[in-house]
Amino acid sequence: MPRAQKIPKRIEQLGRTRTDPYAWLKDEGPGSERTLETLASPIAEQLRAEMAYAKRILAPGADLEETLFSEMQARSAGDMAAPPMPAGDLLSGTPQGLGRPVYRLESGTGSEVVLDENARAEDRPYYRTTGHQRGGSRWFVWAEDIVGADEFRIVARDLDSGAVRTVVPGGVFGYGGIAATGDAVYWLRRNDRARPDALMRTPLLGGEAKLLYEEDDPAFFLGLKKTAAGGLIVLSAYSPDRTEIWTVDAKTPQAEPQRVVSRSDGERAELFEWQDAPLLLTDRGGAFDQKIVPLRGTLASEPLLPHRPGVPIEMVMPFASALVWLERQDALPVLRILRPSMREAMTMRFDGPAYNLSVPEDQPFDAETIRVRFETPATPPIWYDVNLRDGSRTLVKRATLPGVDPGAYQVERIDIPSTDGASVPVTILRRRGARSGRMEGRAPLLLTGYGAYGLSSEAEFSLPALSLVDRGWTYAIAHVRGGGERGRRWFEDGRRFRKHHSFDDFNAAAHALAASHGADPQRMVAFGLSAGGLLLGGALNQEPGLFAGAIMKVPFVDMLNTMSDADHPLVPLFRPDWGDPLADPEAYDYMASISPYENVKRAPYPPILTTAGLKDDRVAYWEPAKFIAAVRDRSTSGKPAILYLDPEAGHQPDAGSASALREAARFWTFAIRAAAHQF
């Protein structure tokens, strides 16, 4: 087991002093340029030792990992691809047998492929795209990342000639970061701190990029979109609690941005066009779960959709003939449709105790149907077209996977009491007929959760999860506070000075599943990703002996030190969520009391598997590296604490790659061995 050297670093902050023995593991360079060869030699040596150790400890599970991987691959060979979805004359879909989508244009004379991601990704170790859209009648535009460092370039195909050209060679922030018109592409510039800091416009035929707006407050992130009606380019500067919105007339080639919502208004807002008028989804006037109002309205104006506490609005999609939105009722998504002639919106409900409902973006604005995707933990995706006039549904496609019978599985949604009495939803997946009562038998449990930023953990289908459930496991999702499942107040109750509620909820879910729902208390394994890694770190520190194992993917576990780094690309943005330990003594003290790295105790910790991407700028490799070092130093169990480092990876996975299944097989092998107490 590689023991990281302790080199105490004394840190004085707000009249408080702490010592960080593993601060030396941090590299100050940009993640996109980071390699093992460019790191300081002591750091590189430690990371190479970690990689060798991880390989050695995981090696005894190689046969099981290969079995799981082959099993998942065989199932994935079925047809789970989304059916082609029209966006005007543009169709997109993933052909059976291929891992990535193909985009093509349909016309009266035939079909033309404008982007085959499979061909573009060939011979590249990493490939990811976003922002696919038409630029007028002549161009098809997209952004692509070929490195894995979340830095994109913009590429366009000339539909007249078929030629493909790079419009912007790099430095593009790709997530919601491009919007094309007939003659230009608007895009967000990615600065050297991996943040979007400016709105740019570049002619599609070539030419200099023009700066339209520059954001100088690091507490605000930028988002960019073109409205569905196509009339406006919308730039949002947003923090977790405030928004400023600028619009650009998309039909005027040299138009300048105009501010329509000021950050000084102190509201969360998103702008849409419907019925030739701009609308806002906003929390204005105390509407914490949001309402839809006219942009130019006052607080006294009649809202199009009034605020309903406990029923958060999660997305809005305008069509020419109807306004569509997803809201959440009793922690489950519900589709609503409002036509101009209606007094009340139609409500589209779907069956099942727990499910996920999603609406693909970029649907034709003038369509009379909307494509939706329905799934449950037991049911692979089903796509429907919902008629915008009467709400009737037409089945478009059911995903089919070899050897997967949805009827063989059972989905449950239960509510468990947390330590303070809060009712926490938990979604459960198991084999149908599996014994689930307190006295009827015990099954190993994989419990997962997230609980941050108001994001909901969806009850969606997971192909890898079936490989555990088919081996007698129970798979469960704890919808802890800090997420968005029950609306803004559910989020606020697991945010900032209430973050410990997330940890309480997660451990309470584990205890309840063991006490009354058939989980074996000696064979429970926890899983968390990113901020879900913070959840696991906090839960483990509360009760180190509760779980037989923990899997923490790119975990946010060095909370106090990261939030004290003003140069981190996300720290200024997320201070409202976590607090500011550089300026607020109360925030410092609370963070110091819950940060996983600082609170590893002298106790028997279970086997822990963490992962990191060397190029990750969001949750850097040193966070799990330091946490693992602390666990090794203080745990009394002698169980392994592992850092699995990918020297080529960033924070985002390579969509469509078999590497995702390989990673899942590795995780489940670790879980099975941990539950069997083989470490």
Q: Where are the domains of the chain?
A: 9-74+411-675, 129-266, 311-401
Helix (H, G, I), strand (E, B) or coil at 137: coil
CA distances from 23 to 90, 188, 379 (A): 51, 33, 46
The predicted structure's pLDDT at residue 299: 47
Q: Pairing between strand 152-158 and 139-145? A: antiparallel
Looking up tokens 């007094």 gives: 343
Instruction: Could you please state the CATH topology (level 3) that the domain comprising 9-74+411-675 is classified under.
Output: Rossmann fold (3.40.50)
The predicted structure's pLDDT at residue 654: 59
The predicted structure's pLDDT at residue 655: 52
Q: What is the token pair recorded at 141?
A: 């535009």
Please give the single-letter amino acid code of residue 196. Answer: P
Backbone angles phi, psi at 550, to 5 degrees: -140, 135
Sign of CA dihedral 229, 230, 232, 237: positive
Cα–Cα nearest to 600, from 550, 553, 637, 634: 634
Rg (CA), the chain: 25
Question: How far apart are alpha carbons 497 and 490 in whole angstroms?
Answer: 14
The predicted structure's pLDDT at residue 133: 87
The predicted structure's pLDDT at residue 499: 98
The predicted structure's pLDDT at residue 650: 73
Q: Pairing between strand 519-529 and 549-553? A: parallel
Question: How far apart are alpha carbons 327 and 215 in whole angstroms?
Answer: 31
Please give the single-letter amino acid code of residue 405. Answer: D
Question: How far apart are alpha carbons 559 and 15 in whole angstroms?
Answer: 19
Residues of the chain with pLDDT under 70: 86-88, 96-97, 108, 175-176, 297-301, 435-441, 651-657
Q: What is the token pair recorded at 227?
A: 């409205």
Report yes or no on whether pTM surpasses 0.95: no
CATH number of 129-266: 2.130.10.120
CA distances from 560 to 161, 283, 364, 594, 596 (A): 54, 30, 46, 9, 9
Question: How far apart are alpha carbons 574 and 453 in whole angstroms?
Answer: 9
CATH topology of 9-74+411-675 equal to that of 129-266?
no
Question: How far apart are alpha carbons 2 and 146 in whole angstroms?
Answer: 33
